[in-house]
Amino acid sequence: MKITNAEVFIGGPGKNYVTLKIMTDAGIYGIGDGTLNTRETLPAEYLKEYLIPCLIGMDPRNSEDIWQYFYRGAYFRRGPIAMAAYGAIDMALWDIKGKIAGLPLYQLFGGKSRDGALVYAHAVGNTLDELIDSVAHYVEQGYKAVRLQCGIPDMPEGGYATGKGGDTKHFITEYGALPDQEIWDSEKYLRYMPNVFEKVREIFGPDLKLLHDVHHRLRPREAAAFGKEIEKYNLFWMEDPTPADDQHALRLIRQHTTVPIAIGEVFNSIWDCKTMIEEELLDFIRVSVTYAGGITHVRRIVELAGLHSIRTGFHGAPSHSPISMAAQAHLNAWAPNFGIQEYLVLGTEECDALFPSDHYLDNGLFYVSDAPGLGVDFDETEAKRYSFDRRYHPIVRLEDGTMWNY
């Protein structure tokens, strides 16, 4: 069996999804997601210029060797661009493998460890009242876990953790614009946020799982103090308390608080996660199959995490196309150390038309499709409706102008 051709598509409803389609001489094809939010053309070009020419003629069943060929074979390794490109190839090869076997991918990993996978929704509000309405909305729909991001009174200008302007505003700018700027003040945030958890707990009771994303905004000592202060609200996790570059910062946080820590959405390889996993500096690993090198590599990270009682909490922002969400759904069904899945309803009619699938959400749990392979398809006719739009994440400064972490 041989790979005969591969094509890359960019675009989607309101998103620059990077979709790879690999064709074989057996008439079976596979699809993969290489979307790197706000830098989408880079993995796409890497695929087109360098990787696809090598893929033609390879046996698609040898997904491990192909992964090693690209990763180990490259002199300059890792990084989000390369790993997203390998991730797209790897997902497509697993899709082909599942289709050859006539089995959904979770069966190839070892079968199901659970019926449905717990997901969390994003509740946001410019004010605490708005946030409470947003939580109530998700609770009514059956969600058992919600992430809380709330506007901070007097915060100079927005700020990710405030949720100002709604969720999507904070992922990307409008087409054609240069990056938005936010002004951030950690002290105001640290003073206000505990009230938010207190109020939400008071209204919604002890069972609702509450998560919060600090989005890399704090210094290690601040994060340690914050974690200690909010322990009493029994959060499911505190995410990305400090910038991910410095894994050692987590040591200080760990010494001072038992609040569960989730980190890793910007990590690309097992080497990036190794210190924090082996030293048990976190509770949930947030890598995604897209920019952590696909199913082959993320399974290794999941296994290493499992040895250290660390659970999964894969990244599931809308920047991931339904293809990587499907790949993660299969891993979630299998992984003995599954924790939770971030889930944002992509579910516009346009998105479902572009990526048809039978995966579904019911009562706060995600159920994986039994179709062979990834269980999601890509409609090339629909794809013709979309093209690439350059967009940016916002940048963040402190009030005196100092650049800060988005």
- Catalytic positions are 160, 215
Residue 330 touches ligand CS2, criterion: CB under 6 A? no
H and E: helices and strands count for the chain: 14, 16
Listing DSSP states for 200-247 in one string gives HHHHH-SSSEEEEE-TT-S-HHHHHHHHHHHGGG--SEEE--S-TT-T
Distance CA 267, CA 381 (A): 34
- Shortest spacing between CB 266 and Mg ion, in angstroms: 9
- Give which of ligand CS2, Mg ion, none residue 324 binds (C-beta under 5 to 8 Å, depending on kind): none
Distance CA 33, CA 24 (A): 18
Q: Which of 40, 180, 185, 213 binds ligand CS2 (CB under 6 A)?
A: 213
> Who contacts 387 (Cβ-Cβ below 8 Å, separation ≥6)?
10, 11
Q: Which of 46, 94, 171, 366 binds ligand CS2 (CB under 6 A)?
A: 171
Q: Which stretch binds Mg ion (CB under 5 A): 62-70, 111-119, 165-173, 206-214?
A: 206-214
- Shortest spacing between CB 161 and ligand CS2, in angstroms: 10
Q: Which of 16, 19, 24, 37 binds ligand CS2 (CB under 6 A)?
A: 37
Residue 69 or 392 having the CB closest to ligand CS2: 392
- Give which of ligand CS2, Mg ion, none residue 342 binds (C-beta under 5 to 8 Å, depending on kind): ligand CS2
> What letter does residue 318 receive in the DSSP assignment?
T
Residue with tokens 């915060």: 155
- Give which of Mg ion, ligand CS2, none residue 185 binds (C-beta under 5 to 8 Å, depending on kind): none
Residue 369 touches ligand CS2, criterion: CB under 6 A? no
Residue 215 touches ligand CS2, criterion: CB under 6 A? yes
Q: What is the total count of residues that contact Mg ion (CB under 5 A)?
A: 1
- Shortest spacing between CB 160 and Mg ion, in angstroms: 9
Q: Collapsing DSSP states into helix, strand and coil, what is residue 40?
A: coil
Q: Interaction with Mg ion in 304-323: which residues (CB under 5 A)? A: none
Name all contacts of 273-276 with Cβ < 8 Å and 24+ positions apart: 273/301, 273/304, 273/305, 274/304, 275/247, 275/248, 276/247, 276/250
Residue 213 or 283 having the CB closest to Mg ion: 213
Q: What is the total count of residues that contact ligand CS2 (CB under 6 A)?
A: 8
Q: Which of 265, 272, 283, 377 binds ligand CS2 (CB under 6 A)?
A: 265
Q: Which of 342, 372, 376, 394 binds ligand CS2 (CB under 6 A)?
A: 342
Residue 213 touches Mg ion, criterion: CB under 5 A? yes
Residue 9 touches ligand CS2, criterion: CB under 6 A? no
- Shortest spacing between CB 14 and ligand CS2, in angstroms: 14
- Shortest spacing between CB 243 and Mg ion, in angstroms: 12
H-assigned helices in 37-162: 41-46, 52-55, 63-71, 80-101, 105-109, 128-140
Distance CA 214, CA 238 (A): 7
> Who contacts 237 (Cβ-Cβ below 8 Å, separation ≥6)?
211, 212, 259, 260, 261, 262, 283, 284, 313
Residue 382 touches Mg ion, criterion: CB under 5 A? no
| Bridge partners (DSSP) listed for residue 403 | 397
Length of the chain: 406
- Binding flags for ligand CS2, 287-326, as an x/- string (CB under 6 A): ------------------------------x-x-------
- Give which of ligand CS2, Mg ion, none residue 319 binds (C-beta under 5 to 8 Å, depending on kind): ligand CS2
Please classify residue 278 by burial: count the beta carbons closer than 10 Å to its beta carbon, then call 0-12 exposed, 13-18 middle and 19+ buried.
exposed
List residues binding ligand CS2 (CB under 6 A).
37, 171, 213, 215, 265, 317, 319, 342
List residues binding Mg ion (CB under 5 A).
213
